[in-house]
A and B are shown apart, each in its own frame.
Chain A
């Protein structure tokens, strides 16, 4: 799996987005366009971010998550994430995202939560 770009895995009405190793401004550039396209062509009620390969994230990642959260909240959907390591958890906490986006340990938990 390429760890420098996003990969998308549709799971029914859920969309799993596998995030790159380094989630910074450089690697975030294409995400908006790609997810907007996927959201317009599919009926998606939950976006699941996979942080299991991500070793570094800065405020660019917060921007991306926050925007997806607003998008999904606007249509009654939800955003969750799983697999966040220590650095990512710290950034989510300082960025205030930990309160908005539920964090799970595993993909299964993120897929089956209600």
Chain B
């Protein structure tokens, strides 16, 4: 029965041979570039240096306190960052969706700024502010030998980096809760606090749990902040795996650590995706309500606004520090303004900047189109193994970059797939790592588009590919462009997987920044960061200019349709 159905589905797919080939090609490339590297990591973890089967790597994990601590520390930081990140994110999202405080637009932009920066920009800012020569610790508070390294440094840096992720997630959740529900609760006599506690909060609970898990996953996967700020007495898994490979040349142990890192990430991902997402309440019906909610009392409004502004100012302080640091001769000692760091950055790093741009410009459109194509396949086509394809395509959400990076060097180091050291391995890695966001937004938009619009195109004589090109693609343009922005930003700012894949020929800005931090040239690192953020901002501006005017109109239509 099941086989018969699969056969039938294949037959239907074959009516459109081009589409069938495309489905096949995408499935195969997902297997090669997503699944195969993970399998390679898994196998390597059970091998000795010369390829014999062994349990030694995991035995070492069980005996060495140091490696166990790495796991414990990573989980600890992940949980703490998750809790505080969600708290801050909810506060920001609630304030900006439920009150009419001034400067909402500006606050929103400040809050999402950390998302478009390389994740360890905050780490550099923290070193400049709280390090041995830190502006605050040494100059203002006069502390000598204050040590920011360890839990507090990583935690502070990650909260700064990932609270914005929580904010964006929870903003979506709170926006999709119909404020009329709150009006209704108050209408039957609930006080403001009761309304929040018994209506708003319970309804946003699945979203809160979901945001927590997303931050937890990102924190576990984070590589840059721990590498800069953890220090040798506070080992963490992701940098430890890297150090085993590049420092001790122990690839099997590195792979085993990667597998250990993968387990909590995948668990959190599966809970988030297959348990929580089904429980999210979306209560938007009819026309969106524009009126400000009455749920926030004047006193609470001031309190919330103060907290939010405080956090925004902290973000501003961090970025200001980077900017000033990039123009300061020697931070903490010689405060004269100088362009030396930029001069140096351009002289040693010009090729790196060029390489980074090439990689980003190549991978962004591929990732964008692939994302829309897969979203289309998942939502609109039936074919055997569709669930597996969907899972594979978004799996990289959950897999820490470190694991992917190790997987790629293991998987693509011999013919016919000898890619190590090439441009292709960087591009492929970025394409398949950052395609899930495009897929997710594509799926969300496609599910809103009436399927009969595509049926109408088929009915008028368009085949599957033509329908996708002439009807579906223009309609999912908003998702397409947001996927593009995300892919570009991530290609510019990613480090955890890329650090394994760069080579003498092809180097990336983020790796360069980390090297400068490593050799203590914080000013140059800051200069590189400024250059990187500037490129990202310009590029995001350009991409949003490209968005056809139709897109805005479709958005309006969709809003009208409710």
**Are these two chains actual partners, yes or no?**
no
**Chain B residues with a Cβ under 8 A of chain A:** none
**Chain A residues with a Cβ under 8 A of chain B:** none
